[in-house]
Chain A
Amino acid sequence: MGDILNIVLKRLGLGLVTLLVISIIIFGAVELLPGDIAQAVLGQGATEENLAALREQLGLNRAAPIRYFEWLGNAVTGDFGRSLVSQTPVSEAIFTRFGNTLFLALYAAIIAVPVAIFLGVLVALYRNTVFDRVANVVTLTSISSPEFFLGYVLILFLAVKGGYFPAIAKIDDGMSLVDKLDRTFLPALTMVLVVVAHMMRMTRASIINLLASPYVEMARLKGVPAWKVIVKHTLPNAWAPVINVVALNLAYLVTGVVLVEVVFVYPGIGQLLVDAVTKRDFPVVQACCLIFAATFILLNLAADVGSILTNPRLRHPK
């Protein structure tokens, strides 16, 4: 057990260091602005007094490293400063919206993961048949389509023409869970389509990779039925790559929602980020980027740890 704990802790430390470096990049990028934030906000026509006043207010007169540590310290305790546009605290807007984004991602994941693994096993079982080839073309198409294309196709057919689901996913805290699930069904379905296709292909590939191993040959020769070869002999060994893929796709779900949120006007953090970028509201941009990056790194870590735990060979490194 000590070994595993050691490896996991090492990975966690590495993840923390990466996050620290990224926070420096996010902070430093804004410092690279031609002029500084005050100049960017007030524009070319600003008077010297106005600039000086804003600089004073934002604390821009101090050295960058000091401001970085202040920013980081506040960010860790959940305080991201004030928005330049609305002057309200950034964290207020972010936390409810981040909750919404996580809700949507979780919703999509709960549908997508079982479906993808089941279908992946199925296509691996019927590999090189018509079914497999059709599945190959369909999944490739779904991966290659931009999210907004899938989103608008779903809106056109299921919302406007069919009238089964609402086209705009506006939710608020007062709604019941069933209502929320109904409202967010189309955005969730859009993400499910993209993610299922990807996970399914990876599951298929990792199972087929193992089918050439001697123990599979052995199982076949002793007369084990084809589905049992896959479910009993191949799948346990394929878990490591599959878990990896699932975690990576969850990371995609949390970060790739930006486009889906914009299409469905969903009040998530992605839309907030896009708005902030167009308005050049830097504290909000920094906060959103930091949260996205942290989630992404966390899920990648989970992928690493998951594949170590399911693979005895990685658990006992030589």
Chain B
Amino acid sequence: MNYFIIGFYALLIGASSLAAYYQKRTPFVLLFSLTLVSFVMGIVGGESMLWAVTLLAGMIAFSAGVSYSFREFLVLILPRDLAKEMRTAPLTAGFGLFVIFTYAISGIFAPIIAPFGEAEVISSAFAPADENMLLGADQLGRDMFSRIIYGARNTVGLALLATILAFAMGATAGLYAATKGGKLDQLLGRIVDVIMSIPSLIFSLLLLSIFGTNTATLIIVIAIIYAPRVFRLARSVGGNVVVMDYIEAAKLRGEGTWYLIRKEILPNSSAPLIAEFGLEFCFVFLLVAGLSFLGLGIQPPTADWGSMVRENATLISFGEITPLIPAGAIALLTVAVNFVVDWMLYRSSGLKE
């Protein structure tokens, strides 16, 4: 028994007693289950496990704090009606927005933030971290930290471009099919069915093996594979709008199909489409990361998170966490986007039960 263990349990038990005394149900359940879990963890894993629990709890508390202050900050600077929405947002959404904001900053200002270039060899292979290199060097002696920062620009940028392209194709075709109906609608529907019945990773591997792996093909292939999802949603949402009276009125006024889609249908089906954009981005991003991990995505020497994981994977067997950092960066962004989408879906669907 040393001071750390005594202090650890004293703090937890004291805090849960306080919560119980003031009849705070939620904090009490949380704190007390944490105490029970750390009893088990402490017996199984000893002091190091308790340190891990403390670290984890500290990280969660820290990110909760950051999310809270970021949400309050947004409430203050946003215009009034948006601020009202923000105020009721859950902390997870605040966290998601904060992470997205951070990634955007590091992606846009990558050359200013990163201390070295993305392809610049500055030391020996797998050199450990020092004051020059925050995270050490990769398999060729390039600075890991700089490559992570540049990765935010390359990987996320590519996924974003592919998503936008998929969205433009899918939504346009979907809304057009909903407005026009008839033979074209049927034809598009069948094409979409076929594309969706092939698993996306397998389909993209097939297409990439044929067309080769340069950035432009990558974007187009991914956009074609993911456009059908958007098409289906856009068509079903658009289908509900098309039967409204004001569409009939616009048609009688003699407006063209393009005008109907742009001015009448799109504004009235934007909420589900925006949420879908977030989800779609997650899928595309994971596919891009997976393809790069397999060596078929963005080609070296461009810094890219998926291929960085693969290139440094051997370090895992020495107990180093280096390959987990780019992988974690991918996971963190997807989680963040999902948190935000979750909140938006909850808001628009009114799932209250």
Closest to A212 in B: B353
Q: What is the CA–CA distance of A7 and B115 in the complex, to the nearest angstrom?
A: 64
Contact call A277/B208, Cβ cutoff below 8 A: yes
- The interface-forming segment of A141-149, A179-187, A222-230 is A141-149
Contact call A156/B202, Cβ cutoff below 8 A: no
Q: What is the CA–CA distance of A296 and B296 in the complex, to the nearest angstrom?
A: 23
Q: Does B286 contact A (CB under 8 A)?
A: yes
Contact call B342/A149, Cβ cutoff below 8 A: no
Q: Does A243 contact B (CB under 8 A)?
A: no
Which residues of chain B come closer than 8 Å to A259, judged between CB atoms? 201, 290, 293-294
Contact call A146/B197, Cβ cutoff below 8 A: no
Q: What is the CA–CA distance of A177 and B169 in the complex, to the nearest angstrom?
A: 49
Q: What is the CA–CA distance of A260 and B123 in the complex, to the nearest angstrom?
A: 32
Q: Does B323 contact A (CB under 8 A)?
A: yes
Contact call B202/A289, Cβ cutoff below 8 A: yes
Which residues of chain B come closer than 8 Å to A208, judged between CB atoms? 351, 353
Contact code string A164-193 (vs B, CB < 8 Å = 1, else 0): 000100000000000000000000000000
- Interfacial residues of chain B within 196-223, with CB under 8 A of chain A in the complex: 197-199, 201-203, 205-210
Contact code string A274-318 (vs B, CB < 8 Å = 1, else 0): 101110101001001100110011001000000000000000000
Q: What is the CA–CA distance of A273 and B208 in the complex, to the nearest angstrom?
A: 12
Q: What is the CA–CA distance of A256 and B283 in the complex, to the nearest angstrom?
A: 13
Interface residue tally for chain A (C-beta within 8 Å): 53
Interchain CB contact (< 8 A) of A145 among B193, B201, B335, B351: B335
The A interface is mostly helix, strand or loop, or mixed, namely helix
Contact call B331/A146, Cβ cutoff below 8 A: yes
Q: What is the CA–CA distance of A288 and B92 in the complex, to the nearest angstrom?
A: 41
Contact call B209/A22, Cβ cutoff below 8 A: no
Q: What is the CA–CA distance of A29 and B225 in the complex, to the nearest angstrom?
A: 14
Contact call B209/A280, Cβ cutoff below 8 A: yes
Q: Does B319 contact A (CB under 8 A)?
A: yes
Contact call A296/B321, Cβ cutoff below 8 A: no
Q: What is the CA–CA distance of A141 and B330 in the complex, to the nearest angstrom?
A: 11
Which residues of chain B come closer than 8 Å to A296, judged between CB atoms? 197-199, 202
Number of A-B residue pairs having CB atoms within 8 Å of each other in the complex = 138
Q: List 22 A-B contacts (CB under 8 A).
A: A18-B197, A21-B194, A22-B197, A25-B194, A25-B198, A29-B206, A130-B30, A140-B342, A144-B282, A144-B335, A156-B321, A160-B317, A160-B318, A167-B317, A255-B199, A255-B202, A258-B202, A262-B293, A273-B202, A274-B296, A276-B209, A278-B296
Q: Does A1 contact B (CB under 8 A)?
A: no
Contact call B201/A255, Cβ cutoff below 8 A: yes
Q: What is the CA–CA distance of A32 and B217 in the complex, to the nearest angstrom?
A: 14
Contact call A152/B338, Cβ cutoff below 8 A: no
Binding site for B on A (CB under 8 A): 18, 21-22, 25-26, 29-30, 32-33, 127, 130, 137, 140-141, 143-149, 152-153, 155-156, 160-161, 167, 208, 211-212, 251, 255-256, 258-259, 262-263, 273-274, 276-278, 280, 282, 285, 288-289, 292-293, 296-297, 300
- Interfacial residues of chain B within 289-317, with CB under 8 A of chain A in the complex: 289-290, 293-296, 306, 309, 313, 316-317
Q: For B206, B294, B327, B335, which residue has the most chain A Cβ atoms within 10 angstroms? A: B206
Q: What is the CA–CA distance of A188 and B1 in the complex, to the nearest angstrom?
A: 38
Q: Does B46 contact A (CB under 8 A)?
A: no
Contact call B334/A274, Cβ cutoff below 8 A: no
Interchain CB contact (< 8 A) of B294 among A21, A143, A274: A274
Interchain CB contact (< 8 A) of B324 among A152, A277, A278, A300: A152
Give 5 closest A-B pairs by Cβ, nearest first: A144-B334, A149-B327, A255-B199, A145-B331, A277-B209
Q: What is the CA–CA distance of A258 and B205 in the complex, to the nearest angstrom?
A: 11
Closest to B326 in A: A149
Q: What is the CA–CA distance of A297 and B29 in the complex, to the nearest angstrom?
A: 45
Q: Does B145 contact A (CB under 8 A)?
A: no
Q: Does B26 contact A (CB under 8 A)?
A: yes
Which residues of chain A come closer than 8 Å to B337, judged between CB atoms? 144
Which residues of chain B come closer than 8 Å to A149, judged between CB atoms? 309, 324, 327-328, 330-331
Closest to A137 in B: B92
Which residues of chain B come closer than 8 Å to A152, judged between CB atoms? 309, 313, 316, 323-324, 327
